[in-house]
Amino acid sequence: MANKIDREDMLALTRRMNVSRCSFTRIAGCYVDGDGDFDGSFNVNFLKLSAEEKKRNIELAKAVPFAATNVNLKRYEFSQEDMRPGTVWQLLMALRECGLKNDALMDSFYDLVMEHYQSRRSYAVYMFHDRYDIPAKAADKERLWESEAVFEYLICVICPLENEYEPGEPECGFLFPAFLDGGAALNCVDIYQKNTKNPHTELKELLGCRPVDNRR
């Protein structure tokens, strides 16, 4: 298991994160007030957003894979015990499988965040679903037009609210599953922290993951 994130893998994802090329299928999220109470949610087809809304939301999602790899964005793994029925890992797998279309599952995830996340101000939780067509490569490693496989994944960001229902720059988030060797590492997650000196360690605790074992 690679304990380091390959910068090229992240760049492969972010290269398409613009209004004309983005392949996000859905965006869902909730708002939490300064007292930590639920303050509404949404769940929409990403393609139905206006160009300006797409651009604004893509920038939020892009903060995770475009972050400094192995500094602000680090890899963690789930043990076999962490992947049992009833775990957060199972919930994330179900959200990935349904493409965020199950509101009950989303509500369960929001509840987990509100239970663990520490903030003195109102914030938003945004989740994105994407299907990235992984380009096939010729023997000389040059890209071919046909896609070889699909990497289906989620990006979550947690942002302070600057104005009413207007999220600011993400403070933390994650990409699940991790993108490794041209495919999905289902037992890994990449966690983003904007402030590495004062990180939201509760996000790692919420997810139930641990640093990748360097000895393997």
Cβ-Cβ contacts under 8 Å for 185 (sequence gap 6 or more): 1, 177, 178, 179
Residue at 26 is within a domain: yes
Residue at 2 is within a domain: no
pTM to 2 decimal places: 0.92
Which string of b and e fits 163-198 if b means at least 16 CB within 10 Å?
eeeebeebbbbbbbbbbbeeebbbbbbbbbbbeeee
Q: Give tens-digit pLDDT for 171-195.
A: 999 999 999 888 899 999 999 999 9
Residue at 1 is within a domain: no
Query: pLDDT tier at 136 (50, 70, 90 boundaries)?
Result: low
Residue at 120 is within a domain: yes
Q: Give tens-digit pLDDT for 18-27.
A: 999 999 999 9
Q: Are 169 and 159 in contact (CB under 8 A)?
A: yes
Total domains in the fold of the chain: 1
Give the span between the Cα atoms of 191 and 80, in whole angstroms: 19
Q: Give tens-digit pLDDT for 139-161.
A: 444 544 445 688 999 999 999 99
Residue at 161 is within a domain: yes
Q: Is the peptide bond before 65 cis (omega within 30 degrees of 0)?
A: no
Residue at 186 is within a domain: yes
- What pLDDT does 213 receive? 67
Weakest-pLDDT range from 64-68, 182-186, 203-207: 182-186
Residue at 54 is within a domain: yes
Residue at 136 is within a domain: yes
Distance of alpha carbon 155 from its chain centroid, rounded? 2
For 59, other C-beta atoms within 10 Å of its C-beta total 14
Q: What's the domain range around 193?
A: 7-211
- DSSP code string of 44-76: EEGGGS-HHHHHHHHHHHHTTTTS-BTTTEEEE
